Chains A and B, each alone.
Chain A
């Protein structure tokens, strides 16, 4: 079946612009995660959605970052007023609760 789909695969934006990153999880997976990987770093947890529960936003690095998940499926990560330090690969993953995560191929964000 289809895996986790992320779009766009690459995004170049100017400093100060807003960007939206999209994630389509695997059908039937109630858990959805956003991570990011900066150059030379590990995977940094950003936010977690589980069903209709309130999301865990504890990993969002600043209030310029927000995410929503509509209808328990598609998720959008929004970064407002982008900064150069936001440049990274943003990875989305989905899973059944307590099961290993299935990752998408990520969106490479470059802020110039």
Chain B
């Protein structure tokens, strides 16, 4: 039972354009969502998070949008840079999973073309 889904395994974007990575979840009790970036041979690094009391959170070039009714969140990167090329994971926690257990999606590989 995949509670957090990233349906696009890969995405290619031209440098300078917007990258939009999507994530869907099934558990309506999730109340905290995060995005992580992972380079090869390294552990995931935290990017940005959002609580369910908000529908948008922005940090520099990164913005996360949350649509609770659709159980959908997205990460926007503007402008995209070649160094953004990595695998991006969304994660969620809360509800019956416990506020501590983070459930991760399968990841989307972003390639930013110079």
Contacts and interface: CB of A to CB of B under 8 A. Distances in A.
Interface stretch (B12-20, B75-83, B99-107): B99-107
Contact of A105 (B36, B43, B91): B43
Interface string B2-37: 001010000000000000000000000000101010
Interface of A: 4, 31, 33, 35, 40-45, 48, 50, 56, 91, 93, 97-98, 100-106
Interface string B44-65: 1110010000000000000000
Majority-rule SS of A interface residues: strand
B100 A100 contact: no
B104 A106 contact: no
Contacts of B103: 45
CB-CB nearest 10 A-B residue pairs: A103-B43, A42-B106, A43-B104, A100-B46, A105-B43, A42-B104, A103-B44, A104-B43, A105-B42, A42-B105
Size band of the B side of the interface? Answer: 20 to 34
B98 A101 contact: no
Contacts of B114: none
B41 interface: yes
Contact of B46 (A50, A91, A101, A105): A101
| Residue with the greatest number of chain B CB neighbours at <10 A, chosen from A35, A42, A103 | A42
Given A42-B89, A48-B101, A4 B106 contact: no
A4 B100 contact: no
B43 A106 contact: yes
Given A43-B44, A103-B43, A50 B100 contact: yes
B88 to A, nearest CB: 11
Contacts of B100: 31, 48, 50, 56, 97-98
Given A42-B89, A45-B102, 11 more contacts: A33-B102, A40-B106, A42-B6, A42-B105, A45-B101, A48-B100, A93-B43, A97-B100, A98-B32, A100-B46, A102-B46
